[in-house]
Structure 1
Amino acid sequence: MPDLPQTARVVIIGGGIVGCSVAYHLTRLGWRDVVLLERKQLTSGTTWHAAGLIAQLRATANMTRLAKYSQELYGELEAETGIATGFRRVGSITAALSGERLEELRRQAAMARAFGVEVEEIAPDDIAGRYPHLNIDGVRGGVWLPKDGQGDPGNITLALARGARQRGALIAEHTSVTGLTRDGRRISGVDWQGREGGGHIACDAVVNCAGMWGHELGRMAGVNIPLQACEHFYIVSEPIAGLGPLPVLRVPDECAYYKEDAGKLMLGAFEPLAKPWGPIPAEFEFDELPPDFDHFEPILEMAVNRMPMLGQAGIHTFFNGPESFTPDNAYHLGLAPEADNLWVAAGFNSVGIQSAGGAGMALAQWMEDGEKPFDLGDVDISRMQPFQGNRRYLRERASETLGLLYADHFPFRQKTSARGIRRSPFHALLAARGAVFGELAGWERANWFAREGREREYRYSWKRQNFFANVAEELAALRTGVVIYDMSSFGKLRVEGPEAEDFLNHVCGANMAVPEGRIVYTQFLNPRGGIEADVTVTRLSETAYLVVTPAATRLADEIWLRRHLGERRAIITDVTAGEGVLAVMGPKARELMQAVSPNDFSNSAFPFGTAQQIELGLGLARAHRISYVGELGWEIYVSADMAVHIFETLWQAGQELDLKLAGLHMMDCARMEKGFRHFGHDITCEDHVLEAGLGFAVETGKPAFIGREAVLQKREAGLDRRLVQFRLRDPEPLLYHNEPILRDGQIVGHLTSGAYGHHIGTALGMGYVPCSGERAADLLGSTYEIDVAGTRVGAEASLAPFYDPKSERMRA
């Protein structure tokens, strides 16, 4: 073991492929004093037994960007380091055994075209031609990605490690981390123990790359890193005579993948119900778990039928090894919410080899610049809620998430395990009236309402799902009458203190120097003018504001505020659970509110964009006149103790007005008709606020704020792209997101979100279109199509909302 220094710029904990990638990329950026500590030997945790599949296509554009980068890097490492990585571009085939799976693959192929990934849809005979050993009975078709590959995980890791060492990194094996010293919100040092003694390294930053040990290492630092190890099975056949190189083959309908390696065939599985494993023994190193043939047998039976040669060859290896999984099947990357210098790259959900190169590059650049190089919201560790570190929760959820890797990835698919954790005060009332719940950030949310006597569960499909007509009815009630829906899950952050106004003016694009009771729609911008958060801010008093955030980003938005507070005299308090929120929306909303409250809800007494304390029934509430659905209405904030009474009062009074309950699927359809952006899809940290069409929410005339210079520069230079709304000319196809946008026959982008506009009568979408130097008339004068699962569908483009473009209805 090399002599360890007493100080370092960064200590990386974990010597798998991810830790070595982070070290490699930091040193490539010029970092010195980089120390990597590995408790046993490099690769000895999960990396050594990984299958080594290296695919390009991921679920989003940026995850695909990172996967493509990994592949390119692995192809170059041998020349740089002299270590053979075993990387080969053998291509990959995914075969579909059902119509629904084939629809999914066709949509993935369209998405690949939008992301610049070479892809070809192939028929069963074409699959047989590329994989002659396959029984194609029941195969409906598939996709071929010629540039996918496979590699040797151990050697790729060793090559990354050598590359890091060549640039000065110190890598110490057989060195365990025994403690982390914390000073406020910073980790000031790392305690270590080796074979011949121990010591302490003072450091500027720590990176947790500990894989399946990452959860416990996080607890050591007071940081929540939700991870659970699960058993992962594969078999390797005896050598098969005449078996030459083959593409990687995935048959997800049978939970199986196949890889040829040195004349042997590997069969791996992502079974529907996985086996959580732990705690991890202290001596674990290059270890296997006890075999469980009974658990694997159903998949093996299907595989022998699908690949007859497998049944004739003997089994050389039956392997069972642990891999770590996160609650949502996306890995953890970024700065831990609970600390200001502890970074995380862990929990790679069986895609660590194909992800490690890109993840290491992205994290290193983030550490170098102090801000994300591009949108990493899919994997940002700050998306995880504190409760998700609960061990029982992790075991229950991980048993499902492993299987979801190869399940049908239907739109709106809900997880079924570890449910019912967070419920609004209205939950039981909505459940009694037919609510069908989905889950987001642990919240049970009424997504739609079943008719009386009808099934109250999802029936998934890529076509019109069983709630399609229900949502259409809810939207019709919104547009013509009045509905109520539960918004309690949205985050609520109270910012108060003598310098609250100054602080919020620093982080918000809009002006916070407004009268008490004013509601301001605004964004938190980064120095590039990108959107870090999309919120409303209500001034409650001279010294207090309420920031309302999307449910999924509540923690991330709170952390953004805390990290920019500095020495200002203000405090930030999460009050999300303290208030229930009911949205009362529709042209009859004023009539309903007037029926339950003596307050004046006229336009002159209660204008749009204001909030007031009101009496409601026998209780008190705060009404916010704001809308995310484009109709007249109020969001009613009520303390949890009075929430049930408020609901019952509204429900009873609403019967004379034909009041309907609505869910959040309806809200999404309505906001799409109105052209309202959805954070994380239509607007992200790499989308400039002006190009997103939100310049009206930025006040550059106020004192300096984060992103001001970038906004002024963009106004001077002009827009390079614009967020455009699309309406399909054919009312039948459905849009979700990532469908390619074609302008005059050429792919120019992809949809950032999509939904069916039941009032408009067809599917709608949004997406960015390049427009450098163009006028709006030129942009809209082109011919547009959307690629829906390989079929080009004509679309109308607009910069204005398709519904109520002048916003007259919600301001009535």
Structure 2
Amino acid sequence: MMADLPTTAKAVIIGGGIVGCSTAYHLGKLGWTDTVLLERKKLTSGTTFHAAGLVGQLRTSANITQLLGYSVDLYNRLEAETGLQTGWKMNGGLRLACNDERWTEVKRQATTAHSFGLEMQLLTPKEAQDLWPLMTIDDLKGAAFLPTDGQANPSDITQSLARGARMAGVKIFEDTPVTRIIVDDGRIRGVETPAGTIECEKVILCAGQWTRTLAATVGVNVPLVSVEHQYMITERIPGITPGLPTLRDPDRLTYWKEEVGGLVMGGYEPNPVPWAQKGIPEGFHYELLTSNFDHFEQFMDLAIGRVPALETAGIKQLINGPESFTPDGNFILGEAPELKNLFVGAGFNAFGIAAGGGAGMALAEWVAKGAAPFDLWPVDIRRFGRVHQSTDWVRTRTLEAYGKHYTIAWPSEEHASGRPARRSPLYAHLKAAGACFGEKLGWERPNWFADLAAGEVARDVYSYDRPGWFDAVGREHHACRTAAVLIDQTSFAKFTLKGPDAARAMNWVAANNVDRAVGSLTYTQMLNDHGGIECDLTVARVARDEFYIVTGTGFATHDFDWIARTLPEGCNAQLVDVTSGFAVLSLMGPRARDILQSVTEDDVSNAAFPFGTARRIAIAGCPVLALRVTYVGELGWELHMPTEFAVTVYEALMAAGAPLGLINAGYRAIETLRLEKGYRAWGADIGPDHTPVEAGLAWACKMKSGIPFKGREAVAAQLAGGVKKRLAGFAVDDPEVVLLGRETIYRDGQRVGWLSSGGFGHTLGRPVGYGYVRNPEGVSEDYILSGRYELEVASVLVPCTVSLEPFFDPKMTRVKV
């Protein structure tokens, strides 16, 4: 077999598990027959062969749910296509709830399923028992059933995908390890194996738990680590039938499926065991780890309590196999930001079988067409950053995420591990002032402030009703609307683009016109060729040949990568990440100008410093780049300064502002404030699947200028021909209703979409959300405003009001001059 190894290929896939074979299958379908898959040992011999094989579809993202749904569609037809059995059964999946909080979560999951087009059914305990007769139901509040979930035989389905790939012309070589990825002058040139070298331009890493180490050899960071995962296989149990649905019992930490008349039972323990902390043993393949009965014991009482027959069942085997897990529980797809044409599909967190079909499809399209088939931000490799380069940090956070796999996923829940890592210079000041911090990309960020004098504790209390921080955020919200707040936003990602061609380059990448006078500040999107919004940021022109770019904390890697890759070929302009060099304080509210003027000699009147401009000023003797912009709908400035000046500026502003009602505020108030004003959030309301026309942002595109920019033609086509979805706002009169996002939107009784974001408007005194109204025949302003709307919230229909304008009543606004 090695003698037949080709010397060239269009693409090389490394790894012969389900994701590698699925990618090969789909590349073959796309006509990339000059593709080679290399497996170091045998197909499935890494982790695929010992996977449990449950296939569930529902996730919190519509597109990831769609991707998993594609897996189901593929598995339904694969055996007929290839002639190889897959062990696939669409026997449905049950999810149980044993307490009121879990039942609320399950009802919200059912609503999410309805939003995404899945018919998840809510069942009584007895109805659930009718589907799964061997379980006890004394402690059940209810259950949800998804008929299109199922299970598969991991090895069989992988071999079937491999046959399908070969049938399309893809070559697969086993016992052929890749010893080196050849990179020359920043470009992939090929791969080395003991049987020879294959020249290629594209490499796709699907090497499971080996991926991080191999990727690191070419400077690419893939944040995953190995964790032991165990499940038990029983002998035959009377009453177990082949059509028994899969079962997830998160309150008892366990999952179940039928296998040859017996049961598979496994779970996610709160104290997981890491594996291979010093590296994966040489030659490890088709191997299991020593069964750890003592560690598995914590599941047994919980499991027997649900299925008493387990107590007397014969135990065939306790499987202990290592799996790759990630810090946020989502898998990793996409082109590495560090190296062009190196793609990754890894870190599947023990649901690689469920994701394998769809992940392979998406990765193949990404490779063949240069872009993902749809927005895959929740699994995009560019969601990671500097903190994820530390394996110790990745392992610490990953073990926490693993331990939370079956805990209730509370709204706005924060992780506790690996903290603090990245701290603003103001961290100690804010902590002393009562800050309750959250974390994003390693940054500590103030979410809200406790009133320490009143005995409040800076600790999150989570709930599916009003959370513990509700009143505190309300205080900050009202202060921003009536006086002023100061928000530490140092974690913002900041870049500079500098060079003789900076203006020309930036104006091609940005949809809005940034080639304006020095001192101009422009809010803009950056679009792909379909008009989808890849970035949403502000650009300040600070010199004739220099721009200062500000974007969200979590988008640092993504946005830098997008801009760098999209700059026109041959432009003399250099993009530099300066995030760590600058602290940011946002001063917002109707008294913001009074406060700012009291600490600077510069004129900050509206005439001297109008909205949408940037100026260098001095505050308490410190140099500050002040940007007159707002994301909360009030008069204000973002104040950017070298980090060493942050404490001095903060102290001066707080001292000057105290008599005028200035208080600290956090990110949760920013969210409630922006919802009232209708400001969009990238990753929720806008993204690569949404255009400025659909999002109501066409005004931010330089369409009348005649200046070319990436995505212009797509925007023009939509302006001329109309759209099939459009973002609208929804408000509920009942203040007790809790909107979180993903609630189903009904227009005249028909499902037309779901909320992309939701929260409470403290000025309005009612819940507010945003979502796209969809109609295959087209969506106009009249279509949206003529309908009667309801939202499904935790499976209950709630009447709501629709609007294409911000809900914040213009009569409530102050004159911002």
Query: Given the two structures, how large is their TM-score scaled by the length of structure 1?
Result: 0.98
**Aligned counterpart for 2:802 among listed residues 797, 800, 807:** 797
Match of 1:144 in 2: 145
1:352-363 map, 5 Å: 352-363=352-363
Asked whether the 8 Å contact 1:651–1:659 carries over to 2, the reply is yes
**Aligned counterpart for 2:619 among listed residues 607, 612, 616:** 616
Task: Name the SS for the 2:274 alignment partner.
Answer: coil
Asked whether the 8 Å contact 1:608–1:811 carries over to 2, the reply is no
**Aligned counterpart for 1:727 among listed residues 727, 731, 744:** 731
Cα distance in 2 for partners of 1:451, 1:36 equals: 60
1:262 matched to 2:253? The reply is no
Match of 1:787 in 2: 792
Cα distance in 1 for partners of 2:534, 2:779 equals: 27
Match of 2:500 in 1: 498
Match of 2:59 in 1: 58
Residue 629 of structure 1: CA displacement?
A: 0.2
1:524 matched to 2:526? The reply is yes
Residue 703 of structure 1: CA displacement?
A: 2.2
Task: Name the SS for the 2:534 alignment partner.
Answer: strand
Residue 810 of structure 1: CA displacement?
A: 7.5
Residue 404 of structure 1: CA displacement?
A: 2.1
1:737 matched to 2:737? The reply is no
Asked whether the 8 Å contact 1:631–1:810 carries over to 2, the reply is no
Cα distance in 1 for partners of 2:18, 2:782 equals: 50
Residue 774 of structure 1: CA displacement?
A: 5.3
Cα distance in 2 for partners of 1:472, 1:807 equals: 17
1:674-685 map, 5 Å: 674-685=677-688
User: What amino acid is aligned across from residue 65 of structure 2 in structure 1?
Assistant: T
1:548-697 map, 5 Å: 548-565=550-567, 566-697=569-700
Unaligned runs of 5+ in 1: none
Match of 2:238 in 1: 241
Match of 1:217 in 2: 214
For residues 49-100 of structure 1, the C-alpha deviation after alignment (integer angstroms, 9 at most, x for no partner) is: 1111111212211111111110111111111111100111111111011111
Percent of paired sites with the same residue: 46
Residue 424 of structure 1: CA displacement?
A: 1.1
Residue 183 of structure 1: CA displacement?
A: 2.1
Cα distance in 2 for partners of 1:184, 1:386 equals: 23
Cα distance in 1 for partners of 2:564, 2:811 equals: 37
Match of 2:509 in 1: 507
1:324-335 map, 5 Å: 324-335=324-335
Asked whether the 8 Å contact 1:674–1:801 carries over to 2, the reply is yes
Cα distance in 1 for partners of 2:491, 2:778 equals: 42
Aligned in 2, Cα 1:58/1:316: closer, same or farther, shift over 3 Å?
same
Cα distance in 2 for partners of 1:226, 1:664 equals: 26
Task: Name the SS for the 1:437 alignment partner.
Answer: strand
User: What amino acid is aligned across from residue 131 of structure 1 in structure 2?
Assistant: W
Match of 2:116 in 1: 115
Asked whether the 8 Å contact 2:21–2:161 carries over to 1, the reply is yes
1:143-222 map, 5 Å: 143-193=144-194, 198-222=195-219
Match of 1:384 in 2: 384
For residues 155-207 of structure 1, the C-alpha deviation after alignment (integer angstroms, 9 at most, x for no partner) is: 000000000011111111111111111123321110112xxxx3111102000
For residues 87-132 of structure 1, the C-alpha deviation after alignment (integer angstroms, 9 at most, x for no partner) is: 1111111101111111111011011111111211011111111111
User: What amino acid is aligned across from residue 261 of structure 2 in structure 1?
Assistant: G
Asked whether the 8 Å contact 1:14–1:211 carries over to 2, the reply is yes
Cα distance in 2 for partners of 1:381, 1:775 equals: 36
Match of 1:757 in 2: 761
Match of 1:441 in 2: 441
Cα distance in 2 for partners of 1:319, 1:98 equals: 30
For residues 209-238 of structure 1, the C-alpha deviation after alignment (integer angstroms, 9 at most, x for no partner) is: 000001001112211111101000111112
1:483 matched to 2:485? The reply is yes
Cα distance in 2 for partners of 1:653, 1:520 equals: 29
Match of 2:81 in 1: 80
Residue 588 of structure 1: CA displacement?
A: 0.6
Asked whether the 8 Å contact 2:725–2:779 carries over to 1, the reply is no
Cα distance in 1 for partners of 2:760, 2:7 equals: 60
Match of 1:426 in 2: 426
Residue 807 of structure 1: CA displacement?
A: 11
Asked whether the 8 Å contact 2:327–2:395 carries over to 1, the reply is no
Cα distance in 2 for partners of 1:78, 1:239 equals: 27
Residue 773 of structure 1: CA displacement?
A: 4.9
Asked whether the 8 Å contact 2:86–2:160 carries over to 1, the reply is yes
Cα distance in 1 for partners of 2:604, 2:564 equals: 36
Cα distance in 1 for partners of 2:253, 2:780 equals: 50
Cα distance in 2 for partners of 1:809, 1:614 equals: 25
For residues 328-379 of structure 1, the C-alpha deviation after alignment (integer angstroms, 9 at most, x for no partner) is: 1111101000111001111111110010100111111122221221111111
User: What amino acid is aligned across from residue 660 of structure 2 in structure 1?
Assistant: L
User: What amino acid is aligned across from residue 666 of structure 1 in structure 2?
Assistant: A
Asked whether the 8 Å contact 1:633–1:810 carries over to 2, the reply is no
User: What amino acid is aligned across from residue 228 of structure 1 in structure 2?
Assistant: V
- Count of residue pairs the alignment pairs up: 808
Task: Name the SS for the 2:201 alignment partner.
Answer: strand
User: What amino acid is aligned across from residue 622 of structure 1 in structure 2?
Assistant: L
Match of 2:463 in 1: 461
Asked whether the 8 Å contact 1:630–1:810 carries over to 2, the reply is no
Task: Name the SS for the 1:423 alignment partner.
Answer: coil
Task: Name the SS for the 2:515 alignment partner.
Answer: coil
Cα distance in 2 for partners of 1:89, 1:445 equals: 44
Cα distance in 1 for partners of 2:212, 2:644 equals: 36
Match of 1:124 in 2: 125
Match of 2:38 in 1: 37
Task: Name the SS for the 2:373 alignment partner.
Answer: coil
1:244-393 map, 5 Å: 244-245=241-242, 246-278=244-276, 279-393=279-393
Cα distance in 2 for partners of 1:450, 1:237 equals: 52
Asked whether the 8 Å contact 2:590–2:816 carries over to 1, the reply is no
Cα distance in 1 for partners of 2:347, 2:521 equals: 40
Asked whether the 8 Å contact 1:742–1:786 carries over to 2, the reply is yes
Residue 618 of structure 1: CA displacement?
A: 2.7
User: What amino acid is aligned across from residue 659 of structure 2 in structure 1?
Assistant: E
Residue 295 of structure 1: CA displacement?
A: 1.7
1:91 matched to 2:92? The reply is yes
Cα distance in 2 for partners of 1:454, 1:314 equals: 54
Greater shift, 790-799 or 242-251, is seen at: 242-251
RMSD: 1.3
Residue 389 of structure 1: CA displacement?
A: 2.6
Asked whether the 8 Å contact 2:725–2:778 carries over to 1, the reply is no
Task: Name the SS for the 2:42 alignment partner.
Answer: coil
Cα distance in 1 for partners of 2:150, 2:622 equals: 64
Cα distance in 1 for partners of 2:718, 2:433 equals: 50
Match of 2:228 in 1: 231
Asked whether the 8 Å contact 1:382–1:556 carries over to 2, the reply is yes
User: What amino acid is aligned across from residue 671 of structure 1 in structure 2?
Assistant: R
Asked whether the 8 Å contact 1:630–1:809 carries over to 2, the reply is no
Cα distance in 1 for partners of 2:814, 2:275 equals: 55
Residue 294 of structure 1: CA displacement?
A: 2.1
Cα distance in 1 for partners of 2:373, 2:185 equals: 27
Task: Name the SS for the 2:379 alignment partner.
Answer: coil
Cα distance in 2 for partners of 1:205, 1:811 equals: 53
Cα distance in 1 for partners of 2:229, 2:449 equals: 38
Task: Name the SS for the 1:265 alignment partner.
Answer: strand
